[in-house]
Amino acid sequence: MDKIKFATIWLAGCSGCHMSFLDLDEWLIDLSEFVDVVYSPVGSDLKDYPENVDVCLVEGAVANEDNLELLLQVRERTKMLISFGDCAVTANVPAMRNMLGSTEPVLKRCYLELGDTTPQIPKDPGIVPELLDRVRPIHELVDIDLFMPGCPPPADRIKATLAPLVEGKQPKMEGREMIKFG
């Protein structure tokens, strides 16, 4: 049996979803019999997202150009994309900056008003990715195959989502245990 090529990515979010994934504890050992982790911010130093990924969990909202570029690449190279956690599903806390109307007030607050020694907005390429005008949930930018809400999704929900997938079945995303936000 071929193993599933499995990936996770982390966009604009707190990494709580990945921490909850690690709460799968011993089941991660069982999962490793069925998946090859081909890309992840957890325990991996891979720089380039690979081709032909079977399943990818996407944590976080899309807040900057780097997030958008990675998400578009991931969608192009992945068969099943799972919106992983409330930030990916709704943009959640990262989208609070949308209330400020544009990126200018965000940058001024972060880099000028709260700057310690040499307040300045970084302008050199590669220092701070260009912010998008609005923080957006991932389904507004690419097609999503499955939504897994939660802030973060509890380990039991993650397991109940992934276990059927490794058996070639579609998980049932219904009922409070599987679709509760927050």
| Nearest-angstrom CA–CA distance, 16 and 110 | 23
pLDDT in tens, 5-29: 999 999 999 999 999 999 999 999 9
Indicate the domain borders of the chain.
4-98+134-179
Query: Would you state the pLDDT for residue 38?
Result: 95
Whether the Cβ atoms of residue 104 and residue 131 lie closer than 8 Å to each other: no
Q: How confident is the model at residue 59 (pLDDT cuts 50, 70, 90)?
A: very high
User: What are the structure tokens assigned to 75, written together?
Assistant: 């969608």
Confidence band of 45 (pLDDT split at 50, 70, 90)? confident
Report pLDDT for 125: 82
- Could you tell me the pTM of the whole model? 0.92
Can you count the helices (H) and strands (E) in the chain?
7, 7
What pLDDT is recorded for position 117? Answer: 87
Question: Pairing between strand 146-148 and 78-84?
Answer: parallel
Q: How far apart (Å, rounded) are the C-alpha atoms in residues 61 and 153? A: 15
CATH topology assigned to domain 4-98+134-179: Rossmann fold (3.40.50)
DSSP bridge pairs for 4: 35
Residue 77's Cβ-count burial label (10 Å; 0-12, 13-18, 19+) is middle
State the DSSP code for 161.
H
